Every structure is written in C-alpha cells, then in structure tokens.
A and B are shown apart, each in its own frame.
Chain A
Amino acid sequence: MSEVLVLVDHADGVVRKSTFELLTLARRLGDPSAVFVGEGGEAAAESLARYGAAKVYVVADPDVTAYLVAPQAEVLAQLVEQVSPAAVLVPASSVGKEVAARLAVKTGSGLITDAVDVRAGGEGVETTQSVFAGSYTVTATVTRGTPIIAVKPNSATPEEASAAGEVVPVEVSISDAAKAARITDTQPKKATGRPELTEAAIVVSGGRGTGGDFGPVEAFADSLGAAVGASRAAVDAGWYPHSNQVGQTGKQVSPQLYVAAGISGAIQHRAGMQTSKTIVAVNKDEEAPIFELVDFGVVGDLFNVLPQATEAVKAAKG
C-alpha cells in the first residue's frame, strides 16, 4: 500500500489529539507516515506509532521552524517527490492550511480545506466539507496530483492501531527564498489547564452579555471540563484573548456540546459553531437569533442561570 503523509501538529513535542485523528483517517487511504517537524520527534514516535504510523519522518533542521510556513512546504514537497504518497493530510489550522496551499502549488496538486471526513472513494480520495456557515454539506474529490487534504479537528475518533513507527531522519535543503519571513519572537500562550478550544468535546462561550465578567462562564466550563470561547464583541472589548474567539475570523469549533452565554448569534459567530452537535444558549433576549439554532435555550440572565447550572452539574457529578 502507498504511504499517506500526515503532518504532525505538536506543541513543543507533545503531539496533539488532532494528529491521532489524522492518522486514524489516513489508514483508510494507505499506510500512514507521520512527518514531524521540530525538536522531539524521536520521543513523539512512540505515540505516533500507537496510532498507526509505520514511519515517522523527523525533520529537525532549525531552519524549518525559524521561518514562517514556506520551509515546511518545501519539506513536504521533497517527501512527496521521494515517496509518491497516496495523499497528504494536514491539520486545518492556519499554519496547516498555508503549508498545504504552498504544497499544492509546488506539486500541482488539488487541495481541499476544512474537510470533516476523508475516505477512499470511487474516483480517489473523497472528502466531506461543511460550507456556508454549516448550511450545506459538500462532497469533493481531487482530480490532479497528490490529494492534499486539510482536516478539521474533531473529524474522527482516534483509534489505536499499533505500527512500527520507524524513525527516519530527513535531511532537507531549504532554499533561501523560503527563508524570507523570519520568526523573531514567540510568546507562548498562558496555560489555562482547560482543553484546547478546537479539540474540546464541550465549549462554553461568553459574549457581550457577560459585561466583561467571564467568571460564571469559566466556572460553568470547569464544571463540565470544557474549553472557554468568546464572541468577537467580548474579544474586541479586551475581556478575553483573541485566540479564544469563535467564528469566521476566530476558531471554527465543532464540539459535542456548545454553550453560548450572552451571545446574540450573529452570522459571523455562527460560522464558527453551527456544526456543533448539541447547541445550548442562555440569553436575556428571547428574540436573539442564537435561539434559532439551539437544542435547548434558557431565556434569562446568565449571572443567575450559569451559577445555578454550575452547582447542579457539580451535584450531579458528585
């Protein structure tokens, strides 16, 4: 079977859950090979093998991570050239999609972004996407080159399938042109102890209705083990970091449960959460458009409803 290259998403060597989802999906198309860029590849190989990586290509050249996006695309292009994979799967993060974009142009290959499912179809690799703020489902295939698919987090349940996980160090030569946008400073996000927004099974978001006090939103999130999101209005007001924004210009999330508190449900917000399985809203205004989407809604003040719900959840969980 042909190899399927999977670009590993990791934070300082710790592989993210979305990568295990990609490896799980990759097995439908061929033999998964993980591509690990950065430091810590050898240590990561073990977990990658557990989810089916037969090979782990490790690219440790510091040049690859010192510059934005372009070197990673060159690395993948070189690997595509060498192993002629059946497909390349990347995480649908901003970096993942940009790497995929450049790889598509370099290799003359079709690119599908934000897939929520990938499978082997009659005409090659077939994908499902959710478009226009979740109002349509689209099936697409790649008709030229090596299929390059950027897959959204939470698109599959990671399944273990032990494989060799053979570490293959890769020597790359990065062109000068790819070393044009240098990353000169990196400020890591403060750790919150909460799950990552795009990976979380439950997301609780607050909006302008919090009036700047995210306390009840965070407490409710913590009772559920959820990630915390925010509307752009809350982010613009400086109440919550931009990296927690849900919506068109923030993160697109698709959790099992999405709770919107004090959020009206503008189209740009909906674009980021409409595909969530179950949607719950708490809003003072019964006319708020968010109520059109909900499975369960409470018309009320979030400062009363959320603390009461938090206590009830804690009691139920014991």
Chain B
Amino acid sequence: MNIVVCVKYVPDAQSERTFDSDNTTDRVGVDGLLSEIDEYAVEEALKIVEASDGEVTVVTMGPAQAADAVKKALQMGAHKGVHVSDEALHGSDAPATSLVLAEAIRKIGAPDLVITGMASTDGIMSVVPAMLAERLGLPQVTFASELTVEGDTVTIRRDGDVASETIVASLPALVSVTDQINEPRYPSFKGIMAAKKKPVEQWGLADLGVDAGQVGLDAAWTKVTEFAKRPPREKGTIVVDEGDGGTKLAEFLSAQKFL
C-alpha cells in the first residue's frame, strides 16, 4: 500500500496572521507550522501502512519554510518527503495548488491512496481535496471520520449536515480526513533522529512540467482587491455572579431586543 499525504505549511493561528502588500497571505513573516488538521492525515496513513505494509510519502507545496511541515511528518514516521517550491508559485490559488499537487502525485508514482486534511487551518476552504480528485480522476471520498481499507476497497463514514453517510470506493482513491478520525502521535526522540536521514526531494515547476504561466498570483482565477483589519470588538460588560448573574444576563438580552 503506497500512500501520498498532502501536508500544508500554514501561519500559526496563535500568532498575528496578516497579508503581504500584494494582498496574499503572509507565509514568510509569521511563524508557521504543519497545518494541525494534516497531522490527522499523516497519522491515518501511518496506521494503514503499519497494519499492512508500504510507504508513506508526504508532499507539500510552499515556500522554503514549508520544509518544516515535511520534517514534522517525517518525524511522525512518514518515509519520504517531497517539497515543491518555486518562485513562480507565490500567490497561487486553490486551482493552481491542486494542479501542482496533482502533477507532483503523478511524478511520485500512482499511489493506492492520496490522503489530505479536510481543510487547511489558514484558508479553511476544503476545496483542494475535491479539486485533486477531479484532476487525478480518482474517486473522491472526503470528510472521513472513520476509514477502513479492505482489499482494494475503501469505506468511510462521513458526518454530513443532515445525515451520517457511508461511502464506498475502489482504490486508488482520494480521501480527506477530519479531526474525528484518530489521535495524531507526537514524534518520538527516535522518530526525530530517524527523520534526519529520510530522503526529501526538492522539485520546482520545471521538474513537474508545469508552465509558470499557469500558477502564481498573476495566473490566479480570483483576485483579492482589498483587505481590512476588523476593528477590535469594543470591550463588553463583564459582571461577576452574586446570585443575580442570570437575571442580569436576561436584562442585557432584553435591552438588546433579543426577547
């Protein structure tokens, strides 16, 4: 079983996230890390190969710093890494990202499974997995909160808005996972040491046969024309309950015309 996991390097949500002067997400000037939700994707891949056999390759597309995301996944136990980086990629939107990742996955070699997170923690778009499935012509089996692979069949449970669904597809397939699916492991000391020796390929656009004109800010199919910091919320009223906290709460709601 060969599995490719897509991992994204994102600005840390705990720090001040902001934009560059060209209206793109600042990915360099702020602390970044492996998108937390993608840890669940790495964990699930590791569990699958540990139960059978095979290799887990992690791939990221992002600036030089994104190597950290690959490193963390290797420390958790992934076998190989691929880091796609190219000046021309700056400002790429989701369609371009999915194009590049699709080409990278093709170059890694037809995996049995491609696993992604359900969303990246910066954009929370949840569109790259569906785009990848579309581009790679793979069954799309997304938002898995449970996953089983038996023979060449993958089955998931998906917690939809109105119903919980079971979805079945044949391998190869693309799966996205939610944070309900498992408990990601912390890298062990051994894992951290072993990661140093694991191979990481560095690919540019030329290696993937992707034309620079198809990616990056200028080729994006959408454009951010403006961004504005929301004014900070005005400091609210805080009362300490002295036996009348509930009454005061109701009075506030009444004054705000909620009752």
Contact = CB atoms under 8 A, between A and B. Distances in A.
Given A104-B131, A184-B166, A317-B259, A110 B125 contact: no
B226 A138 contact: yes
A138 B228 CA distance: 6
Interface in B159-191: 159-170, 173, 178-180
B227 A138 contact: yes
A185 B240 CA distance: 49
Contacts of A145: 221
Given A68-B141, A135-B17, A140-B225, A298 B162 contact: no
Interface band, chain A: 35 or more
Interface in A40-97: 68-70, 73, 93-95, 97
Interface in A7-27: 11
B223 interface: yes
B246 interface: yes
B141 A294 contact: no
A194 interface: no
Contacts, number: 277
B213 interface: no
Contacts of B245: 282, 298-300, 304-305, 308-309
B227 A139 contact: yes
A181 B140 contact: yes
A293 B233 contact: yes
B239 A111 contact: no
B107 to A, nearest CB: 19
A257 B167 CA distance: 36
A282 B256 CA distance: 17
Contacts of A102: 130-131, 133-134, 140
Given A296-B237, A308-B246, A70 B140 contact: yes
B119 A249 contact: yes
Interface string A132-155: 111111111111110000000000
A159 B26 CA distance: 39
A98 B98 contact: no
B249 A180 contact: no
B259 A142 contact: no
B224 A138 contact: yes
Interface residues of B, number: 85
B114 interface: no
Interface in B116-166: 118-119, 121-131, 133-135, 137-143, 145, 158-166
A111 B126 contact: no
B203 interface: no
B73 to A, nearest CB: 19
A298 B241 contact: yes
Interface in A241-292: 242-243, 248-249, 252, 256-257, 267-268, 271, 278-280, 282, 286, 291-292
Chain B binding site: helix, strand, loop or mixed by DSSP? mixed
A137 B127 contact: no
Given A97-B126, A101-B127, A137-B228, A307 B246 contact: yes
B21 interface: no
A313 B226 contact: no
B88 interface: no
Interface in B82-102: 93-95, 98
Given A69-B130, A301-B241, 12 more contacts: A68-B142, A68-B165, A94-B160, A97-B125, A143-B221, A180-B139, A188-B162, A257-B256, A278-B256, A282-B249, A296-B236, A304-B243
Interface of B: 13-14, 17-19, 37, 93-95, 98, 118-119, 121-131, 133-135, 137-143, 145, 158-170, 173, 178-180, 220-230, 233-234, 236-241, 243-254, 256, 258-259
Which A-B residue pairs are the 8 nearest by beta carbons?
A: A308-B246, A300-B241, A110-B221, A312-B250, A180-B139, A101-B127, A309-B246, A101-B130
18 contacts: A68-B142, A69-B142, A98-B126, A98-B129, A99-B130, A101-B127, A104-B95, A105-B135, A111-B222, A131-B227, A138-B226, A138-B227, A140-B225, A182-B169, A295-B237, A297-B238, A298-B238, A316-B259
Interface of A: 11, 68-70, 73, 93-95, 97-102, 104-106, 108-114, 123, 126, 130-145, 177, 180-189, 202, 224, 232, 242-243, 248-249, 252, 256-257, 267-268, 271, 278-280, 282, 286, 291-301, 304-313, 316-317
